[in-house]
Amino acid sequence: MQYSLAALLRNALSGNTHWSPAWRDPQPKPSYDTIIIGGGGHGLATAYFLAKEHGITDVAVLEKAYIGSGNVGRNTTIIRSNYLLPGNTPFYEWSLKLWEGLEQDINFNAMVSQRGVLNLFHSDGQRDAFARRGNAMRLNGVDAELLGPNEVRRLHPLLDLDNPRFPVKGGLLQRRGGTVRHDAVAWGYARAADRRGVDIIQNCEVTGLRIESGRIIGVETTRGTIHAKRIGLAVAGNSSRLAAMAGMRLPIESHVLQAFVSEGVKPLIDQVVTFGAAHFYISQSDKGGLVFGGDIDGYNSYAQRGSLPIVEDVMSCALALFPSLGRLRYLRQWGGIMDMSMDGSPIIDRTPIEGLYLNAGWCYGGFKATPASGWCFAHTIATGQPHAFNAAYRLDRFASGHVIDEGGKGAVPNLH
Amino acid sequence: MRLTCPYCGSRGNDEFVYLGSADPVRPSHHDAPAEQWTAYVYERTNPAGAHRELWHHSFGCRSWLIVTRDTRTHEVLKTEPARDAAHTSSEVAVP
Ligand SMILES: Cc1cc2nc3c(=O)[nH]c(=O)nc-3n(C[C@H](O)[C@H](O)[C@H](O)COP(=O)(O)OP(=O)(O)OC[C@H]3O[C@@H](n4cnc5c(N)ncnc54)[C@H](O)[C@@H]3O)c2cc1C
Ligand SMILES: [Zn+2]
């Protein structure tokens, strides 16, 4: 047994230098049945489900840097399924169900914590919109509770409910929502996929796609040419760059989103709380640091760092909700590059190139989607057809007018 | 990041509002096929590198500018008034 009390003692006495790696570091083979480009959460989950659900184990995951270096290791770890529209609700609820069974499934402690996600509202109009959202969720079998200000006050005594500009009128609570340790998701899926025979190849950047008479036949990489008859793109913020290698232009812009962590303190905020008057959300990690973030910087970016106006904006949102946080110092801040789609919803679909599949457009909400995205993308690649759960996430919906306007802002581009 | 407005000089980027790529050209209202409209409204090149983009100096002189910026480093390569670009090229979309 690799992990046991005896192994723990033995390795502690030898300075923890003899643990064997949790997954192999194979050389790329000249060809595979299926290649997944991108070793983030979605790519690793896809490889895992290809092996587990469809028996396809001749699979390589090609990652240009190391596992977890992308958004899967940069997000604020929030999971939820509080969606309104028919194209979204079943998909995100399936994802939450997969989160609920994740640790048993992959035998890895990912610290899935269903502490609840509370979305605050600040006006009568917003209460109506949230009541409607909660009702739509319940009609779809998803849990939702509409709370008044007193119930919110009991849950979060530090909130400034009587803020004169944005008084808290209540909140929509999804108790099954919460947080998951993001790095553990990458590691857990990597190990589980590896054990089923998937090759995880790090430091292998895809530099070109080989296409012959409308069919994908392989990839050019920094470690040579690798052939495959099916290839899935799951490269998040780099989706447009990879698609351009196949001559495609996507309905996507890449933008940076920042996140912040404060010094560690005793338990202060038990749930995930979001501000309804501006873009801001906060939770507390198990180490005690407050983890929070807000808006994207707002202009195309491939630089994994943010700018100062957003720092100021996020901090003022934090203080508007929880004035007592003014005494805290923030320790760390970073950015990740996100694939912002034009209607704010993702794409899991085939492409006009035979054998080439696309998983993209996750905006700032793709972490919670990780298990279902992998599950649906694996289904789409293995069968050549989308599953009912991802049927609405079509690439051609922008041309056909079937955009998914979850935010309810109307059918205009740049909805993000 | 700071942008240098040709009229107002170097200013913090929070004085400006971003619209997006300056490259899409509005198709003809009379006979353009739907694919051209889809491309214009939704599809973007989204390059990692030099990007021509529209910024509005909203909290300054309120001019539209075309900024050419490297999206990997935020280095500004060129800034020009959008109206100048519109006069020298029929291929530029001015909102
Ligand atoms: C600050 C921040 C906070 C967020 N908070 C949340 C949240 O609370 N809840 C939520 O649901 N979502 C959140 N998100 C969004 C979420 O993190 C992403 O939508 C999701 O992680 C994207 O999928 P991924 O894990 O596969 O991406 P990534 O981990 O980015 O994986 C893509 C991988 O592709 C690799 N790659 C790129 N180009 C190539 C190439 N040419 N060859 C080989 N490999 C390549 C990259 O190196 C990368 O590892 C947040 C994002 C950020 C940045
Ligand atoms: Zn100006």
- pTM of the shown model: 0.96
A333 plus A359 within the same structural domain: no
Residue A50 amino acid letter = L
Nearest to A342 among B12, B14, B42 (CB): B42
Write out pLDDT tens, residues A299-340.
999 999 999 999 999 999 999 999 999 999 999 999 999 999
Q: Tell whether A205 is covered by a domain.
A: yes
Tell whether A364 is covered by a domain. yes
Mean pLDDT of A33-55: 98
Cα separation, A214 vs B57, in Å, equals 45
The parent domain of residue A56 ranges over 24-78+182-251+343-400
Both A236 and A359 in one domain: the answer is: yes
Q: Residue A414 to residues A252, A363, A366, B63, B64: CA-CA distances in angstroms? A: 9, 11, 18, 21, 18
- Domain annotation covers residue A229: yes
Alpha-carbon distance A336 to A326, whole Å? 26
* Boundary of a domain, candidates A341, A356, A382: A341
Summarize pLDDT for A79-98 with one digit per residue, the tens.
999 999 999 999 999 999 99
Residue A198 lies in a domain: yes
Q: Give the pLDDT confidence of A393-405 residue by residue, as tens digits.
A: 999 999 999 999 8
Residue A390 is part of a domain; what is its CATH number? 3.50.50.60
A99 is a domain residue: no
Across the interface, whether the CB atoms of B42 and A413 are under 8 A apart is answered yes
CA–CA dist A367, A257 (Å, integer): 13
| Residue A192 shares a structural domain with residue A336 | no
User: A349 and A382: one domain?
Assistant: yes
Domain membership flag for residue A414 = no
Strand-pairing partners, residue B53, are B21, B67
pLDDT of residue A415: 53
Name the band, by pLDDT with cuts 50, 70 and 90, for residue B29: confident
Indicate the CATH number for domain B2-28+35-88. 3.30.2270.10
| A166 pLDDT above the threshold of 60 | yes
B29 min Cα distance to partner chain A (Å): 17
Report the mean per-residue pLDDT for chain A.
95
Q: What are the distances in angstroms from CA A233 to CA A214, A230, A339?
A: 17, 10, 13
pLDDT score of B94 = 46
Distance from CA of A307 to the nearest CA of B (A): 7
Q: Are residues A353 and A374 in the same domain?
A: yes
One domain, residues A247 and A350: yes
Q: Do residue A34 and residue A65 come from a single domain?
A: yes
Closest C-alpha to ligand 1, atom 37: A235
> Could you please report the per-residue DSSP string of A33-60?
EEEEE--SHHHHHHHHHHHHHH----EE
Answer whether residue A366 is part of any domain: yes
* Token reading at A38: 């991108």
Q: Find the residue in A nearest to B12 (Cα).
A: A309
The residues near B73 (Cβ < 8 Å, ≥ 6 apart) are: A303
How many domains, in total, are found in chain A? 2
Percent of chain A with pLDDT over 70: 98
| Short-list B40, B59, B46, B51, CA closest to B77 | B51
Please report, for chain B, the start and end positions of each structural domain, with discontinuous segments joined by +. Answer: 2-28+35-88
**Residue B91 reports pLDDT greater than 60:** no
Residues with CB under 6 A from ligand 1: A 37-43, 62-65, 69-72, 74-78, 205-206, 234-236, 238, 242, 257-259, 293, 336, 338, 362, 364-368
User: DSSP of A275-334, one letter per residue?
Assistant: ETTTTEEEEE-TTSEEEEEEEEEEEE--SS---HHHHHHHHHHHHHH-GGGGGPPEEEEE
- Return the ∠ at Cα B30 (arms to B24 and B33), rounded to 5°: 60
Both A350 and A242 in one domain: the answer is yes
- Among all ligands shown, which has an atom nearest to the Cα of A274? 1
Q: Which range is least confidently modeled, A183-192, A406-415, B33-42?
A: A406-415
| Residue bearing the CA closest to ligand 1, atom 52 | A75
| Digit-coded pLDDT (tens) for B42-66 | 999 999 999 999 999 999 999 999 9
- CB-nearest to A249 from B12, B18, B45 is B45
In a shared domain, residues A196 and A230 = yes
Ligand closest to the CA atom of residue A348: 1
Respond yes or no on whether ipTM tops 0.90. Answer: yes
A253: left (phi over 0), alpha (psi -120 to 50) or beta: beta
In sequence order, what are the residues at sequence separation of 6 or more whose Cβ sits closer than 8 angstroms to the Cβ of residue A3?
Answer: none
With cut-offs at 50, 70 and 90, classify the pLDDT of residue A130. very high
Q: What pLDDT, on a 0 to 100 scale, did the predictor assign at position B89?
A: 60
Residue A361 belongs to some domain of the structure? yes
**Do A38 and A235 form a contact (C-beta atoms < 8 A)?**
yes
Residues of A in contact with B14 (CB under 8 A): 309
User: Which is the closest atom of ligand 1 to the Cα of A69?
Assistant: 49
Ramachandran angles phi, psi of A124, nearest 5° = -65, -40
Q: What is the CATH classification number for the domain harbouring A259? A: 3.30.9.10
Q: Are residues A188 and A326 in the same domain?
A: no
- pLDDT value at position B95? 46
Q: Are residues A233 and A198 in the same domain?
A: yes
Q: Which atom of ligand 1 is nearest to the CA of A77?
A: 8
Do A316 and A300 sit in the same domain of this protein?
yes
CA distance A230 to A225: 15
For residue A298, the chain B residues in CB contact (below 8 A) are: 18
Any A CB within 8 A of B71 CB: yes
Q: Which helix (H) or strand (E) holds A62?
A: strand A59-62
pLDDT, one tens digit per residue, over A169-205 is 999 999 999 999 999 999 999 999 999 999 999 999 9
Q: Which of residues 75-94 of B touch A (CB under 8 A)?
A: none
Find the ligand nearest to B61 CA.
Answer: 2
- Which residues of chain B make contact with A251, given a CB cutoff of 8 A? 42-44
- Of the candidates A305, A323, A341, which is a domain's last residue? A341
